[in-house]
Amino acid sequence: MKLPLTPVITKNDEEGLIWGMNIARGCFYKVDHVHLFLPMDDGKATRLVNYERYSGFLKYLMDESSLAKPFNASNAALKKVCEEAN
């Protein structure tokens, strides 16, 4: 059985982007993908900080080591897009 999951954007502004998905309003499972833009050098540069935040009952049943590979692949793809845009 495939669960219908729709991404939800909870923040999208100059400070960052947070989007995620949840099951049963986050009680069962929730993941947020967080991308924060931190100004550096008096606004002349920006540092990107990103991480994933997990919560809900299923979090405790998951093998967190299995999440590292997709997270690193996502970071590599984001890095490529950003560097090719310059």
Give residue-wise pLDDT tens across range 34-81. Answer: 999 999 999 899 998 999 888 888 888 877 777 778 778 877 887 788
Residue 1 lies in a domain: no
- The whole domain housing 34 covers 8-85
The Cα–Cα gap between 7 and 60 comes to 22
- Render the chain in DSSP notation, one character per residue: -------EEEEEETTEEEEEEEETTTTSEEEEEEEEEEEEGGGTEEEEEEEEEEESGGGGGS-GGGGHHHHHHHHHHHHHHHHHH-
Read off the tokens for 79.
């890095």
pLDDT at residue 2 tops 70: no
Residue 56 lies in a domain: yes
Domain count, the chain: 1
- Answer with the residue of higher pLDDT: 35 or 84: 35
- pLDDT at position 3, please? 56
On whether the pTM is more than 0.75, the answer is no
Residue 2 lies in a domain: no
pLDDT at residue 82 tops 80: no
Residue 49 lies in a domain: yes
Residue 3 lies in a domain: no
